[in-house]
Chains A and B, each alone.
Chain A
């Protein structure tokens, strides 16, 4: 019995020990952990700019392709897959105009994300035109365009001999059919975009001239069509040879037939034709089997073709239409592979051990990322880009300028009140406490690299002056009550009801702001809500004041994307975004009118003047109060990736990571 007990005790101990040892083992033991103390001082975010050891080869005779394609042995000569020689797009510089290194073929970019959509789509998206980092238009899928004198007819020229990723010719018919069938019938759920509407709201007429030319005709002048197209619609095409039959079935009311055809194409049975159209014609990159013009297309291989699965990969497009200066067909990397994570923060962990090659990170994670070389041997370079938002999304105060309560409406629309709310806070101390010293105090204003940036604006109303704030509160009509807090002149209590989205942890910001507000005589309270509640109430305009806006104010240019900067352009954005023309007054109404005037103005100088006026209105009014300077976008990129650009701007208009042009990246260990 004693033996039995001993055996049992020993066995139990062994079970536990084996478990622990096995969990700790199994790693790559060849990696020598470096026990050097990490330098936790300010991280050097300057990337290792040493030129990769790639000797630019002399321009080859003709064109070359990736061995990956050659080894597949099914695609024939690369010359036959590229557009006509004069129409091939040659990538020589990055979006900032800096020369690109000539790369080498091979390897895969390892990424991590959850579920496809824009995170996977924007980096590989190919619009008819594209922006460089100065917000200038560059040709892309389209070779060039012409416009008539009154800006009513745009003629767009495509590249001769260009092909879809399935080898079928890409022609003007694909662009014209997309607009006339898909957009006009709203089959992709979006319908006719603003870029295709004239001043009266009437849709443009899109007609084919020949295989490489089509025209877009407006009833009234449309001066910003190309810019608006690049922002609103981007691609303006769909593979007619694939979708003609499906779309005809939808239009004929043959729902079962359309869904069956959709399933045959993508392997997915959509619930209805609405979902079918939206998913395959709008989010087309998410589905295997749909040809694109992108550098990478979703794999058709089972286990690798589901963007909602645990793993999926985008493989190189054999018919991609761009080359480097040496005639090497792009992209350089053969694949972009995605491993799905349950929580986006886990990507940082995977970045550290080299499982993931690229990720944007929070600035406070920079030391950890730079230390990865010591811990796991993974060398990661950091690249700093400006953001497009006007302030740190985490620390902005949005007042509802259209609030129903008359007293509060008058107060929020009074610039003195907003100035007082701005200067009653010590930004230096606040920013230091909230960001561990990583960011400085600042105002909600365009960031460097964005239209309208000025140092003066970024410092506006940022001095800490409680006495002046109190004077301003009084000039805004508030009266200090016996309890030491300000009330309205009619004697009613004033209390600022601030809300935020629970998951964004605004309580910490409020706790500090509350101290300053109260010291200045402003009573306030705070409550976190679930995002869905906030979304609904925000759209209904029933919230009063908010920390952490759902979508922060700002973008690269107020002229290109006015959504969060001009009232009435979209919902789900800043307070004045929910405001319509009939409710806006004063400078907000003036802002709307200036935007309308801009739409009707052809002359470049006159347009610039209007845009300057619009920005001045924002600067004068400071409708959104920022307390901490806008957050830069920090890109952590494995050092084996080359040609990653530095100093660009992270913006939806630029398609976020898309402007980094991953087709030009290459891997060299």
Chain B
């Protein structure tokens, strides 16, 4: 197992290297660069830049050099100094920008992830145990709503009804007072209310696939010989469900966790914009649009690393969860 993990870790280096080159290449692929996008943004605000000023800006940020030179200098700084570069848009170090948004991103994404599994697993199990019952249809229907309705649309609908009902627009996780005065005990009920909207809207989007996966896997496991044997031996239904079937049914669910790390890091993008949540998803989108290449590059690079790490972790978790994988590895 250790040898396997070591081998996978060694493979990280070329994988990440190739990903980083591709990322950098793609980010600078659209015509123009940050200087032109900046000039256009300033023009929209009434500040007209001369071609000389645009050239100065380009030289200042090193955008006048070929992309591969920019890439190697970025990489060299990452490796030698741990410096991921400078965000043109924010006028700050890339990590300062990421650090500004990371706590909220991690917090909200983690809660959403927990919500998804906390809701989907019981429903999946219930639906499998009550196949084709009224409850199965009702819960499956609710699960499908989340997946079938685009998150951002659901967000708009929910916000609209709340506004019409209460006269307050629940936009963002924090009210102006919370941002102004810091989090006080009296704000907590409102904050929790505000959190519930994104949790429900984004969370329900992932529930359906988990519900259907668990339901299908459970049904599959329940039809197997070992389940019949257990039942014949007089094991309780709870033991059969939770000790045997569920454990086997969890394999695809656990492997799905490999992408969860990446999702936790950046969070949902479109829904976050609609619900005005200051998390990394919208930051990445803005960085890509304005060709703020080091910021966009760093976020995508970290996402890529997390996908690779997540895949390894889910493989390890699978091996731990499923003895068959361990045995096949040994053999």
Within 8 A of B (CB), among A13-39: 15-16, 19-20, 22-29, 31, 33
Q: How far apart sit A150 and B264, CA to CA, in the bound complex (Å)?
A: 68
Residue B182 interfacial (CB < 8 Å): yes
Q: How far apart sit A378 and B31, CA to CA, in the bound complex (Å)?
A: 45
Contact between chains at B167 and A8 (CB < 8 Å) = no
Task: Name the one of A23, A269, A274, A531 contacting B60, with C-beta atoms under 8 angstroms.
Answer: A274
Q: How far apart sit A269 and B96, CA to CA, in the bound complex (Å)?
A: 10
Binary contact readout B161-181 vs A (1 if CB under 8 angstroms, 0 otherwise): 111111111111011100110
Contact between chains at A341 and B193 (CB < 8 Å) = no
Contact between chains at A563 and B165 (CB < 8 Å) = no
Given contacts A20-B200, A531-B40, A532-B37, contact A1 B237 (CB under 8 A): yes
Residues on B with C-beta less than 8 A from A11 are 122
Contact between chains at B174 and A275 (CB < 8 Å) = no
Q: How far apart sit A243 and B196, CA to CA, in the bound complex (Å)?
A: 48
Contact between chains at A352 and B139 (CB < 8 Å) = no
Residue A63 interfacial (CB < 8 Å): no
Contact between chains at B276 and A342 (CB < 8 Å) = yes
Contact between chains at B142 and A16 (CB < 8 Å) = yes
Contact between chains at B51 and A571 (CB < 8 Å) = yes
Task: Name the one of A8, A31, A311, A550 contacting B126, with C-beta atoms under 8 angstroms.
Answer: A8
Range of interface residues on A (Cβ < 8 Å): 35 or more
Contact between chains at A535 and B166 (CB < 8 Å) = no
Residue B98 interfacial (CB < 8 Å): no
Given contacts A355-B169, A535-B40, contact A342 B272 (CB under 8 A): yes
Binary contact readout B113-155 vs A (1 if CB under 8 angstroms, 0 otherwise): 0000001001100100110000100010010000000000000
Given contacts A25-B193, A550-B40, A572-B48, contact A313 B56 (CB under 8 A): no
Contact between chains at A337 and B163 (CB < 8 Å) = no
Within 8 A of A (CB), among B57-103: 57, 60-61, 86, 90-93, 97, 100
Between B61, B167, B189, the greatest number of chain A beta carbons within 10 A of the residue's beta carbon is seen for B167
Given contacts A9-B126, A20-B200, contact A270 B165 (CB under 8 A): no
Within 8 A of B (CB), among A26-71: 26-29, 31, 33
Contact between chains at B31 and A536 (CB < 8 Å) = yes
Contact between chains at B167 and A23 (CB < 8 Å) = no
Within 8 A of A (CB), among B27-61: 30-33, 36-37, 39-40, 42-51, 53-54, 56-57, 60-61
Task: Name the one of A9, A274, A308, A310 contacting B92, with C-beta atoms under 8 angstroms.
Answer: A308
Residues on B with C-beta less than 8 A from A563 are 48
Q: How far apart sit A342 and B237, CA to CA, in the bound complex (Å)?
A: 50
Task: Name the one of B31, B164, B273 contacting A532, with C-beta atoms under 8 angstroms.
Answer: B31
Residue B278 interfacial (CB < 8 Å): yes
B280 to chain A, nearest CB (A): 12
Residues on B with C-beta less than 8 A from A119 are 45
For B193, the closest partner residue in chain A by CB is A26
Residues on A with C-beta less than 8 A from B32 are 532-533, 535-536
Within 8 A of B (CB), among A548-595: 550-551, 563, 570-573
Binary contact readout B187-202 vs A (1 if CB under 8 angstroms, 0 otherwise): 0011011101101100
Contact between chains at A27 and B31 (CB < 8 Å) = no
Binary contact readout B270-309 vs A (1 if CB under 8 angstroms, 0 otherwise): 0011101110001000000001000000000000000000
For A23, the closest partner residue in chain B by CB is B196
Residues on A with C-beta less than 8 A from B130 are 5
Residues on B with C-beta less than 8 A from A311 are 174, 176, 179-180
For B46, the closest partner residue in chain A by CB is A652
A151 to chain B, nearest CB (A): 25
Contact between chains at A535 and B272 (CB < 8 Å) = no
Residues on B with C-beta less than 8 A from A274 are 56, 60
Task: Name the one of A1, A337, A349 contacting B171, with C-beta atoms under 8 angstroms.
Answer: A349
Task: Name the one of B49, B92, B159, B170 contacting A572, with C-beta atoms under 8 angstroms.
Answer: B49
Binary contact readout A527-544 vs B (1 if CB under 8 angstroms, 0 otherwise): 000111101110100000
Contact between chains at A550 and B43 (CB < 8 Å) = yes
Contact between chains at A551 and B44 (CB < 8 Å) = yes
Residues on A with C-beta less than 8 A from B196 are 19, 22-23
Residues on A with C-beta less than 8 A from B50 are 570-571
Residue B313 interfacial (CB < 8 Å): no
Contact between chains at A572 and B39 (CB < 8 Å) = yes
Contact between chains at B48 and A570 (CB < 8 Å) = yes
Residues on B with C-beta less than 8 A from A573 are 43, 48
Residue A207 interfacial (CB < 8 Å): no
A365 to chain B, nearest CB (A): 14
B181 to chain A, nearest CB (A): 10
Within 8 A of A (CB), among B222-266: 237-238
Residues on A with C-beta less than 8 A from B21 are none
B95 to chain A, nearest CB (A): 11
Residues on A with C-beta less than 8 A from B278 are 310, 340, 342
Residues on A with C-beta less than 8 A from B54 are 571
Query: Nearest 5 A-B pairs (CB), nearest first?
Result: A27-B166, A26-B193, A652-B46, A376-B167, A532-B32
Extra inter-chain contacts (15) besides given A375-B163, A570-B50, A571-B39, CB under 8 Å: A1-B238, A5-B126, A20-B200, A25-B166, A26-B192, A303-B182, A308-B92, A310-B179, A342-B278, A346-B276, A352-B163, A376-B168, A377-B167, A539-B51, A550-B44
Which residues of chain A have a CB within 8 Å of any CB of chain B? 1, 4-5, 8-9, 11-12, 15-16, 19-20, 22-29, 31, 33, 110, 117-119, 122, 189-190, 268-272, 274-275, 279, 303-304, 306, 308-311, 313, 337, 339-343, 346, 349-350, 352-353, 355, 375-378, 530-533, 535-537, 539, 550-551, 563, 570-573, 652, 656
A-B contact pairs, 28 of them (CB 8 A): A1-B237, A1-B238, A12-B122, A19-B196, A24-B165, A26-B189, A26-B193, A118-B47, A275-B86, A303-B182, A310-B174, A310-B179, A311-B174, A342-B272, A342-B274, A342-B276, A355-B176, A376-B163, A376-B169, A532-B30, A532-B36, A532-B37, A535-B36, A536-B32, A550-B44, A571-B50, A572-B48, A652-B46
